[in-house]
Amino acid sequence: MGLLDKLETIATTRETLLPKGINPFNVVIEEIYSATEGSIDGQRVILAGTNNYLGLTFDPRCIAAAQETLGKEGTGTTGSRMANGTFSGHRALEKELALFYGCNSAIVFSTGFVTNLGMISTLAGPGDVIVLDADSHASIYDACRMSGAEMIRFRHNKPVDLEKKLRRLGSKSANTLIIVEGIYSMLGDCAPLAEIVALKKKYGAWLMVDEAHSMGVLGERGRGLAEAVGVEEDVDFTVGTFSKSLGSIGGYCVSNHRELDLVRYLSRSYIFTASPSPASISSVRAALKVIGSEPQHRTKLWENVEQLYQGLKQLGFELGADPGPIVAIRVPTKESALFAWKAILVKGIYVNLVFPPAAPAGLSLLRCSISTAHTSEQIDYILKTFAELKPMMTAT
């Protein structure tokens, strides 16, 4: 087989799966009008699939902070954190993240994906063990493979299965890293974190929680699931991203372990990746202040969540287990999901279409993400549209 032959196989599979003129995996948003509206194929649409949970991409304070820094420091750093890519703003943000979480230290990375690559592959290595939730994000799986550590999966959100894995490890649990997520990105369900923390303590393991989708959303101060369930002190490493509630791009890890700072000298994705642009860092710093001081944004988000989730539930759709900013509708087949996605877009609503293996358990999903910035009228229109298209979305 030639080097590129495998790509031809993929092309054939894609053509079989996707009817001509429908490509949900290469959507171009031609114009952005607000945190909740844009243009696709020349049509004005409601954006209901962006993870912009607090609507801060259009917050005037975040925009002004980015613009001011852009004028002062230019468009990029052109270097890694280890070389010339650490500006004063990067260090200031790290201090502010540590203060926000009440932790000793923080590290800022270029994206959420490389945060997981860098942290996991540095913390764990040959001779160590990583026990991860089976529905973990692709970045976590890639990081585990990079680490060289033994990788063991436990069934999604099943502490009983996690305990079986830990019990079998015996003394090796002392150099075992457990990895779970706050909110899982496909179905929107939360980890049973209190039970997982209890097992971590019982077996003397270490715990990392990826709060990418729960930071800004859960907890009294928006620090995520660990804050919401009162177990922050028992989480060894919290990782997250700037590309959801914080409305920008980048990633971070916070911890009370002072050894965290040593990761800077070992993590390849920190040492060999250009650092986030100064403007992005400034917008994140402004957004972090909003999250920490204005809880009304979370209050409004959860009002919108309840409106959409309960409305879809009353319409008889099969949803994820709990209300949350990610509302996933299970669709019986790939074909019905695909044509429903297109029909929804024609009606002026953009949502995410998710097929296996990105979706867990072989599911096909129409995935909505809700924002503080959505109006009640927009959500009503989404519900009306889904009601009209329900026969298409439930067809087998």
* Same domain, residue pair 193 and 249: yes
Structure confidence at residue 318 (pLDDT): 93
Output phi, psi for 197, to 5 deg.
-60, -40
Residue 292 CA to residue 284 CA, distance in Å, equals 12
pLDDT band at 83 (very low <50, low <70, confident <90, very high): very high
What would the mean pLDDT of 148-152 be, rounded to a whole number?
98
Structure confidence at residue 346 (pLDDT): 96
In the predicted model, is pLDDT for residue 132 greater than 90?
Answer: yes
* Same domain, residue pair 201 and 78: yes
In the predicted model, is pLDDT for residue 231 greater than 70?
Answer: yes
CATH number at residue 153: 3.40.640.10
Choosing from 293, 322, 350, the residue where a domain stops is 293
Structure confidence at residue 359 (pLDDT): 79
In a domain, 75, yes or no: yes
* Same domain, residue pair 361 and 322: yes
In the predicted model, is pLDDT for residue 396 greater than 80?
Answer: no
* Same domain, residue pair 356 and 331: yes
* Same domain, residue pair 93 and 35: no
| Contact by Cβ (8 Å): 227, 221 | yes
Q: Give strand pairing partners of 237.
A: 208
In the predicted model, is pLDDT for residue 18 greater than 80?
Answer: no
Query: pLDDT (tens digit, 9 = 90+) per residue, 154-193?
Result: 999 999 999 999 999 999 999 999 999 999 999 999 999 9
pLDDT band at 358 (very low <50, low <70, confident <90, very high): confident
The boundaries of the domain holding residue 73 are 60-293
In the predicted model, is pLDDT for residue 134 greater than 80?
Answer: yes
Query: pLDDT (tens digit, 9 = 90+) per residue, 312-355?
Result: 999 999 998 889 999 999 999 988 999 999 999 999 999 999 98
Higher pLDDT residue, 22 or 197? 197
What would the mean pLDDT of 189-212 be, rounded to a whole number?
98
* Same domain, residue pair 282 and 325: no
What would the mean pLDDT of 362-374 be, rounded to a whole number?
94
> What DSSP string runs through 266-293?
T-HHHHSSBPPPHHHHHHHHHHHHHHHH
Short-list 207, 304, 208, CA closest to 253: 208
Structure confidence at residue 1 (pLDDT): 65
The number of distinct structural domains making up the chain is: 2
Residues ≥6 apart with Cβ < 8 Å to 79: 85, 274, 275
Cα–Cα distances in angstroms (integers) from residue 20 to residues 14, 16, 24, 156, 186, in the given order: 10, 10, 11, 36, 26
Q: pTM value? A: 0.95
Structure confidence at residue 61 (pLDDT): 98
The total of other beta-carbon atoms located within 10 Å of residue 155's CB is 14
In the predicted model, is pLDDT for residue 21 greater than 80?
Answer: no
Structure confidence at residue 248 (pLDDT): 98
